[in-house]
Chains A and B, each alone.
Chain A
Amino acid sequence: MVLATALLLTSCASSYHWSKSHPAYARAPYGELSITGLQTALVLTRTKWFANRLDFGDSTQIKATEFCAKAIEREFRSAYSNLSVLPDSLLAEFPEESQKLDERIFMKGKLPEQGVSIKDAAGNIPPQILLIHEVIIGTDLKRENFFDYALIHNESEERRDVKNISAIISYTLWDNVKQRPLFSAVDEIQHPVLKLSLTDLEQLMRQTVQQIRKNLYQGAGK
């Protein structure tokens, strides 16, 4: 009976769909990509825990997220030869909308208006933009606690022994020409730590970007 219940629970947990592709999403971006959201999307949880272990001085929240944003940008630059980072202000005026990924999984983020193409500083229209909605950095985070509406109000236990530092990232690959979401997903990345250092944090961000790229490839043509 206990076994059956356990099986039932695990089968429920694994039945989430964490990504959604548009029928017209045929090919993952290659070589060229624009990203936006790096200025405001990052959030560090358990700031005190990180502050005790990293040498950022007084403003760990600000400096750690800046550090992570730079790490993400560096990793994207190494993957896409023609990467442009668009300022977050381009999306600021749009309302926040939710996208349904699964029966209970809703992801929130700002999307450009239908019929309006985003232009970069030079006035060009980038064909595809990766909209980064939210990056939550913390310890031993689980994405269902943040995105399953049935679990959102559960208080998560504060674990004393940290096994992993984790990042949860929600993003949309936006077709800027036809103004439609091509691929939307929520990813969870865990990086085991014994003694936290900046290298671990950078490593976590690199893994995050790699996971995004992997999903962008797997989601295409579905």
Chain B
Amino acid sequence: MKHLAQFLVAVITLIHVFWASAAYAGDVYFDSKWTLWQNADILIWTTEKDSPIDPKEFCLSLRRNNTGIGEPKCRLFGEWERDTVATRYASWLSNNIEPGLEAHYLKARHPSMMAKFQALEDKIVLYITDKGSDLKIAIFDENASEPRAVGSVSKNADKIALGDEIASTLFDRHTTRRLSKEERLKKESEPDDLYKETPTFRSWGGISAGFAQAQIPLTPDNWYSSHTRSRVGNYRITKDSVSLWNFIDDSTPLFTVYVGGIWFGFIGGEIFYRYSSHDVKIDERDSVYEELDHWNFSQHEIGLNVLLSRSFEPFKWLDLHLFTFLGFQYSFYSEDIELKDSKKAPSKEYETRIRFEDAYKGALFGFGTQCVFLHHYGISVRTGLSSRGKDIYTEPSPDAAAEPTTIGASTIDWFISFGLEYHWTPFK
């Protein structure tokens, strides 16, 4: 029970501390991203006869509250206090600052007032007006003819305490180093970081490793199961032979070497060579295979892609190219088959085993992205579908039935690959 009481006292104290600090920090109506300079020049612009804060003491308050502020200079802004247009706007502002009103409702409309704001150059104007129960404060700088931040602080006859409160309400933020006159001039003539000319031609070379399989992700198994579950019996027998995946394993690693180039960051081309190795899916129950040591096919593909690309530059050191590609390819299969050493002569079935076509032609399409770091070093991801086949529609002939059917006339797979690339611009 005693502990509970202690705990409650602690909680109440904490709440008091929070409440007190919240009240102390004043009330901010809105605060846009204005820049607080190191060694800031602060001009105190007030509608009151006697300034509610003392410029020198306010500078000390700033240094107490914000260690990064350096050596600020503060003074009363007499020029504006004597100016008719500025005085009218100041009294208007005093009437119009209300909680909930956004900055654009407080915009100065008079052209010569706008000109005054533009002429401020790095100086920060602190506007203070007495509203009886509290003081409304606003910050102006050269970038807008409306207040960048508005808030209120409670009234306090103690000028030092009031200065502290204002400093902690609106000046509690990171400071930025001010540029010298020369630096300013130089910066104005510097090209924009985000402005970059697209090179006329950009080229790249790369290697990639990936994976291919017959099943396209997010599509049902049963679209492919007749092909992927098929087994080769007796060196040549399958249910059907329309897809090569009836004979050989479809899901394998895939390796690619490629070079490409793009004009104006928009349209380009790419030549590639792809390699993968596929085991034949022999029916293990078949005793005829007892003689076999291994049997697989290497798939070699060469082709050409056309790319359409769109480039982004999120950071200075990163170029992002999104692209889509469409291309064609020729596929060749080289057989690698060997009998066990103990076997002297192959069986008759071995001699009459399945033979693939010399070459298949196909198409591929997909999309991907290249992330190029420091204009040269790229990593890329691409995914798509590729096909390989043979024209099925040949001219009908009288002995069509006697002709052998084309094996693998429609073989499609999905692939994804990750590549390392080097990019260069041979001419700008």
Question: Which residues of A line the B interface, CB within 8 A?
Answer: 22-24, 95, 97, 111, 113-116, 177-180
Residues of A near B109 (CB, < 8 A) are 97, 111, 113-114
The residue in chain A whose Cβ has the minimal distance to the Cβ of B95 is A178
**Is B427 close to A, CB under 8 A?**
no
Residues of B near A116 (CB, < 8 A) are 88
Number of B interface residues in the complex (CB < 8 A): 17
Residues of B near A115 (CB, < 8 A) are 87-92
Residues of A near B110 (CB, < 8 A) are 113-114
Q: A179–B88 Cα gap in the complex (Å)?
A: 11
Q: A180–B92 Cα gap in the complex (Å)?
A: 9
| Residue pair A114, B89 in contact (C-beta under 8 Å) | yes
Q: A24–B105 Cα gap in the complex (Å)?
A: 10
| Residue pair B88, A24 in contact (C-beta under 8 Å) | no
Question: Which residues of B line the A interface, CB within 8 A?
Answer: 87-92, 95-96, 98, 100-101, 105, 108-111, 113
| Residue pair B92, A114 in contact (C-beta under 8 Å) | yes
10 further contact pairs, Cβ within 8 A, besides A23-B101, A115-B87, A179-B92: A22-B105, A24-B101, A113-B109, A114-B88, A114-B108, A115-B89, A116-B88, A178-B95, A179-B95, A180-B105
In this complex, which of B88, B100, B108 has the most chain A Cβ atoms within 10 angstroms of its Cβ? B88
Residues of A near B96 (CB, < 8 A) are 178-180
In this complex, which of A22, A111, A114 has the most chain B Cβ atoms within 10 angstroms of its Cβ? A114
Least Cβ–Cβ distance between B116 and chain A, in angstroms = 13
A-B contact pairs, 29 of them (CB 8 A): A22-B105, A23-B100, A23-B101, A23-B105, A24-B98, A95-B111, A111-B109, A113-B88, A113-B109, A113-B110, A114-B89, A114-B92, A114-B108, A114-B109, A114-B110, A114-B113, A115-B87, A115-B88, A115-B89, A115-B90, A115-B92, A116-B88, A177-B95, A178-B92, A178-B95, A178-B96, A179-B92, A179-B95, A179-B96
The residue in chain A whose Cβ has the minimal distance to the Cβ of B108 is A114
Least Cβ–Cβ distance between B146 and chain A, in angstroms = 12
Q: A115–B91 Cα gap in the complex (Å)?
A: 6
Residues of B near A95 (CB, < 8 A) are 111
Least Cβ–Cβ distance between A222 and chain B, in angstroms = 14
Least Cβ–Cβ distance between B115 and chain A, in angstroms = 13
The residue in chain A whose Cβ has the minimal distance to the Cβ of B109 is A114
Residues of A near B113 (CB, < 8 A) are 114
The residue in chain B whose Cβ has the minimal distance to the Cβ of A180 is B96
Q: A177–B87 Cα gap in the complex (Å)?
A: 16
Q: A180–B95 Cα gap in the complex (Å)?
A: 10
Q: A23–B29 Cα gap in the complex (Å)?
A: 15
Least Cβ–Cβ distance between B123 and chain A, in angstroms = 22
Least Cβ–Cβ distance between A119 and chain B, in angstroms = 15
Q: A97–B111 Cα gap in the complex (Å)?
A: 11
Least Cβ–Cβ distance between A166 and chain B, in angstroms = 32
The residue in chain B whose Cβ has the minimal distance to the Cβ of A115 is B88
In this complex, which of A22, A97, A115, A178 has the most chain B Cβ atoms within 10 angstroms of its Cβ? A115
In this complex, which of B90, B95, B100 has the most chain A Cβ atoms within 10 angstroms of its Cβ? B95
Q: A180–B97 Cα gap in the complex (Å)?
A: 12
Residues of A near B98 (CB, < 8 A) are 24
Least Cβ–Cβ distance between A85 and chain B, in angstroms = 25
Residues of A near B90 (CB, < 8 A) are 115
Residues of B near A113 (CB, < 8 A) are 88, 109-110
Residues of B near A111 (CB, < 8 A) are 109
The residue in chain A whose Cβ has the minimal distance to the Cβ of B111 is A95
Q: A97–B88 Cα gap in the complex (Å)?
A: 18
The residue in chain B whose Cβ has the minimal distance to the Cβ of A181 is B105
Least Cβ–Cβ distance between A120 and chain B, in angstroms = 20
Least Cβ–Cβ distance between B360 and chain A, in angstroms = 42
Q: A24–B100 Cα gap in the complex (Å)?
A: 10
Residues of B near A23 (CB, < 8 A) are 100-101, 105
Q: A111–B96 Cα gap in the complex (Å)?
A: 16
Q: A111–B110 Cα gap in the complex (Å)?
A: 10
Least Cβ–Cβ distance between A101 and chain B, in angstroms = 14
Least Cβ–Cβ distance between B187 and chain A, in angstroms = 33
The residue in chain A whose Cβ has the minimal distance to the Cβ of B107 is A114
Q: A97–B98 Cα gap in the complex (Å)?
A: 24
The residue in chain B whose Cβ has the minimal distance to the Cβ of A22 is B105
Least Cβ–Cβ distance between B80 and chain A, in angstroms = 13
Residues of B near A97 (CB, < 8 A) are 109
Least Cβ–Cβ distance between A141 and chain B, in angstroms = 30
The residue in chain B whose Cβ has the minimal distance to the Cβ of A177 is B95
